[in-house]
Amino acid sequence: MTPTPAVESGARSHTLVPVESVAQISSILRDADPTLDPRLAALARQAAADGTVLLRNDGVLPFGPDSRVAVFGRVQIDWFAVGYGSGGDVKVPYVWNLLAGLRDAGVRIDDEVAETYARWTAAHRPASSDVWGRWPHHLPEMPIDDAFATAAAGRNDVALLVVGRAAGEARDSVLEPGSYYITAAETELLDRVTAAFERTVVVVDAGNVMDLGWLARYGDRIAGVVYAWQGGMEGARAVAAVLAGEIAPTGRLTDTIAAAYEDYPSAGHFGDADATVYAEDVFVGYRYFETFAPERVLFPFGFGLDYAEFEQTVIRATTGADRIELEVEVANIGAVHSGRQTVQAYVSKPGTTLAQAARELAGFAKTSLLAPGERERVSIAIDLADLASYDDDGSTGQRSCWVLEPGEYRFFVGTDVRRAVPAASLTRDTLRVVRRVREAAAVDPTTPFRRMIVQRGADGGALVGWEDVPVATVDRRERVLGDLPAAIPLTGDRGIVLESVAAGTASLDEFVAQLAVDELALLSRGDLTMDSPLGTPGNAGVLGGISESLRAKGVRPVTATDGPSGIRLSAFASLIPSGTALASTWDPGLVRELAALHGQEMVRKGSDVLLSPGMNIHRNPLCGRNFEYFSEDPLLTGRMAVAVVAGVQSQGVAACPKHFAANNQEESRTRNDSRVSERALREIYLRGFELCVREARPMAIMTSYNKVNGVWSHYHHDLVTTVLRHEWGYDGCVITDWWMESAVDPDFPALEDNAYRVRAQVDVLMPGGVKTEDGPEAYADDTIQDSIARVDGLTLGELQRGARNVLRLVLSLAPVIDARTGEGSGAAR
């Protein structure tokens, strides 16, 4: 989303109130946000803690009551609570930093070091970060000398050194010191601190994966490593609670951390301004590393250490023709610490014809908090149909089908992808067709490429091979014409209001039949600008009842607000953990509970539609918005998205998953073409969305800015109509990301811009204005009305179909409390 000055009122544009104690929060909230639910803050803290990943520990953690700790690094004070852009710019009433959090947790902090950093950071405030997309990736470090480090080592047992990174919307990480790599100043700090202290703990405060290859340089002098994913307003306090042992570390990585950037399979195909070739195909993240390069992994997918000591035992593996169920007993065999364990199940598929990764995540479950000596059994049920692969070239004899190939399916259970051990297997004698679908969104024949496959060496080992990617064969014009809906005969205004549809005394079609073409066109766009006067101040945009005539018929304005990490309005609102932090909990139940409280806050603040969750795959560690997204794995992504959507919508408001689809870099995001095989698109980049749609039924979905195989997603009939609506059965409202690129339908020249979009069943242009070479403009074009009268133009039935999708959203929303008046508002607002 692109900002406008009217809504640049988020976390980067107002003075944050630093918190130094729990007692201080009450007075802050009294002055800033008395509506903040303490349950929401408490659960956000728990989620941030549960998403914190312990990567290394030689026994230095948790800090004991007698531990004396010197904290180094300016990020202890200037904590990165969230990434940049619409997904993070929340007007938050307070943010903890790590220094205050450690004191709150009772850790004995070296006051002399802390006060030195406090004075220096106060005198060296970060440069202004108000320019959209030009925020700093890091903050310059305070220099120290050997004498300072040595003196601190004489007073303390251990050093805690904090490194911080940020990226965000329109701001990818870059292969430079201060972004993906550490800086010379940070290296100097590490050198001096590790030379003076026998043991150092490093905390990485970030939203993206950064290079950790430098850890090897320091050997066992770095005794502990904690990856603290950006956890929102309570995040630093949560990390401190983990360091102090108040909360057990239970986070697990949702991405692979490789030895070097060049090891990632997408490294050679990221950041191009015009097109991104997804040459690695289905071998994304751990799928690549576990198949081809396990030796190039520093920390594997699913990895995370505990303070407690656990033992896992597969008690029972029950296999059937359509399902396998694994029952696993987890025992805390330690004597001191409580903890929670995540049981992860992986599958190895036969790969008889289709190229398959060595392992894929098939299911997971998390225990409750187990005290020493306690044990618990968890079950992981896996439907074999969910393990099907997509044949996009016909090599199995079943092109455009989801299939289970014949051969052995081996299942592994463990604490991460690398340490999972054999648990069960089953063998299929024949090919099973799970689903027959239609080719959709395949590679444009004019832009072919070669994709990664598995070849076998002389020893049977997996080697990287390449093959030509299958290209599209469908006659799009014929397909679109076959999908055109019949029109509802116009009746003129019969006095039917939308409340009558809600009450069941009139049908939705009867209501729609009253609407003139101009009213239908109004329903297909928002109220032109962000911060619409029809919605709560600071809104991202308003759709629905944007005209007096529609409001007179009972169609109320619907307020949409940014984001995954909080509600972005002019008012104060909570800043909750980032998407990666939430996914790192591997706890959908916790995430759903937090999302439900977030939905309640939406009701209090006057938000109808939250533009959340972000669901794009972590294809490459440099993608600036990875902090908003969940994982490199589509199953984990889907499960977390289901939790967020179900939680938010349990409160009568809407969630809007985004960005549909293949939005995996910020560089030239509105122009870039994601060139991806149909198989990889379906198995990796769409699978999470499919799980979310089928299981949580989001009321709205947002398209992405980028092209997918040559077609902008906001015009993509194959994505939105063929796959989303026909295959998945989605009948909700599809909206654009904010503004869209101008284009003419190549198969129907009478359609351009908004008419082209409506034909694809992208229902609403948001925020509604027109994008020009000089920037967004607050006026509506006439492409819809002009197209209606032309040969091969937009039909009345298509406009009415889109209107029904929008009106179903309006009907699904609970009455909203106006944050300014405290009065309820129903469908007629």
Q: Are residues 390 and 436 in the same domain?
A: yes
Does 493 fall in a domain? no
Question: Which among 626, 624, 741 is positioned nearest to 673, based on CA atoms?
Answer: 741
> How confident is the model at residue 680, as a pLDDT?
98
Does 191 fall in a domain? yes
Task: Spell out where 90-186 has E strands.
Answer: 95-96, 108-109, 158-164
Identify the domain containing residue 797 by its residue range.
Answer: 519-821
Give the mean pLDDT of 674-701. 98
Q: Could you give phi then psi for residue 445, rounded to 5 degrees?
A: -60, -20
Whole-structure pTM value? 0.96
Give the CATH number for residue 313: 2.60.40.10
Fill in the DSSP letter of residue 682: I
Residue found by looking up tokens 């090919």 in the block:
431
Q: Measured between alpha carbons, how far is 715 from 748 in angstroms, rounded to an integer?
A: 12
Q: Are residues 226 and 307 in the same domain?
A: no
Angle at 218 between CA 151 and CA 143, to 5 degrees: 45
pLDDT at 205 over 90: yes
pLDDT at 162 over 80: yes
Where residue 171 falls (left for φ over 0; alpha for ψ -120 to 50; beta otherwise) is: beta
Domain count, the chain: 3
Q: Measured between alpha carbons, how far is 258 from 211 in angstroms, rounded to an integer?
A: 8
Q: How many residues does the chain have?
A: 829
Q: Measured between alpha carbons, how far is 261 from 283 in angstroms, rounded to an integer?
A: 16
pLDDT in tens, 616-646: 999 999 999 999 999 999 999 999 999 999 9
Burial 539-555 (b: 16+ CB within 10 A, else e): bbbbbbbbbeebbebbb
- Going by pLDDT thresholds of 50, 70 and 90, the confidence category of residue 17 is low
Does 767 fall in a domain? yes
Residue 574 makes CB contacts below 8 A (sequence gap 6+) with 36, 37, 40, 41, 44, 90, 92, 232, 233, 566, 567, 598, 601
Q: Are residues 468 and 523 in the same domain?
A: no
pLDDT at 10 over 60: no
pLDDT at 240 over 60: yes
Q: Measured between alpha carbons, how far is 642 from 187 in angstroms, rounded to an integer?
A: 41
pLDDT at 662 over 80: yes
Give the CATH number for residue 69: 3.40.50.1700
Q: Is 518 a catalytic residue?
A: no
Does 260 fall in a domain? no
Final residue belonging to a domain, choices 415, 443, 476:
476
Q: Are residues 567 and 617 in the same domain?
A: yes
- Going by pLDDT thresholds of 50, 70 and 90, the confidence category of residue 772 is confident
Q: Are residues 457 and 545 in the same domain?
A: no
pLDDT at 219 over 50: yes
Q: Are residues 212 and 300 in the same domain?
A: no
For 231-251, give the DSSP string.
-GGGHHHHHHHHHHTSS----
Does 172 fall in a domain? yes
Q: Are residues 384 and 325 in the same domain?
A: yes
Does 798 fall in a domain? yes
pLDDT at 825 over 50: no
Residue of 737, 745, 763, 781 with catalytic role: 737
> How confident is the model at residue 130, as a pLDDT?
67
Give the mean pLDDT of 186-203. 98
Paired with 312 in beta bridges are 330
Give the CATH number for residue 556: 3.20.20.300
pLDDT at 8 over 70: no
Q: Measured between alpha carbons, how far is 664 from 136 in angstroms, rounded to an integer?
A: 21
Contact 411, 425 (CB under 8 A): yes
Q: Are residues 336 and 426 in the same domain?
A: yes
pLDDT at 314 over 60: yes
Say whether 259 sits in a helix, a strand or coil: coil
Q: Are residues 242 and 290 in the same domain?
A: no
- What are 208's two structure tokens? 């993206």
- Taking all residues of the chain, what is their mean pLDDT, rounded to a whole number? 94
pLDDT at 818 over 80: no
pLDDT at 458 over 60: yes
- Strands 421-428 and 407-414: what pairing? antiparallel
- Going by pLDDT thresholds of 50, 70 and 90, the confidence category of residue 563 is confident
Task: Spell out where 17-157 has E strands.
Answer: 18-19, 53-57, 68-72, 95-96, 108-109
pLDDT at 457 over 50: yes
Give the mean pLDDT of 251-256. 98
Give the mean pLDDT of 244-261. 98
Give the mean pLDDT of 763-773. 92
Q: Measured between alpha carbons, how far is 173 from 179 in angstroms, rounded to an integer?
A: 6
> How confident is the model at residue 34, as a pLDDT?
87
Contact 405, 354 (CB under 8 A): yes
Give the mean pLDDT of 790-804. 96
CA atoms within 13 A on the CB side of 150: 3
Final residue belonging to a domain, choices 421, 443, 476:
476
Final residue belonging to a domain, choices 476, 505, 527:
476
Counting residues of the chain whose pLDDT is more than 90, the rounded percentage is 89
pLDDT in tens, 527-558: 999 999 999 999 999 999 999 999 999 999 99
pLDDT at 207 over 60: yes
pLDDT in tens, 396-453: 999 999 999 999 999 999 999 999 999 999 999 999 999 999 999 999 999 999 999 9
- Going by pLDDT thresholds of 50, 70 and 90, the confidence category of residue 134 is confident
Contact 565, 577 (CB under 8 A): yes
- Going by pLDDT thresholds of 50, 70 and 90, the confidence category of residue 7 is very low
Q: Are residues 770 and 669 in the same domain?
A: yes
Angle at 161 between CA 157 and CA 167, to 5 degrees: 165
> How confident is the model at residue 824, as a pLDDT?
45
Q: Measured between alpha carbons, how far is 130 from 246 in angstroms, rounded to an integer?
A: 37
**Following CA atoms 279, 281, 284, 289 in sequence, which dihedral angle do they give, to the nearest 10 degrees?**
-80
Task: Spell out where 533-686 has E strands.
Answer: 541-544, 557-562, 609-611, 654-655, 673-675
pLDDT in tens, 348-362: 999 989 999 999 999
Paired with 40 in beta bridges are none
pLDDT higher at 828 or 66: 66
Fill in the DSSP letter of residue 629: S
- Going by pLDDT thresholds of 50, 70 and 90, the confidence category of residue 15 is very low
pLDDT at 9 over 70: no
pLDDT at 793 over 60: yes
In what helix (H) or strand (E) does residue 414 lie, and over which residues does it extend? Answer: strand 407-414
Does 254 fall in a domain? no
Does 99 fall in a domain? yes
- Strands 462-468 and 450-456: what pairing? antiparallel
Q: Are residues 179 and 35 in the same domain?
A: yes
Q: Are residues 525 and 472 in the same domain?
A: no
Burial 55-73 (b: 16+ CB within 10 A, else e): bbbeebbbbeeebebbbbb
- What are 188's two structure tokens? 């100097």
Q: Measured between alpha carbons, how far is 359 from 200 in angstroms, rounded to an integer?
A: 35
> How confident is the model at residue 13, as a pLDDT?
39
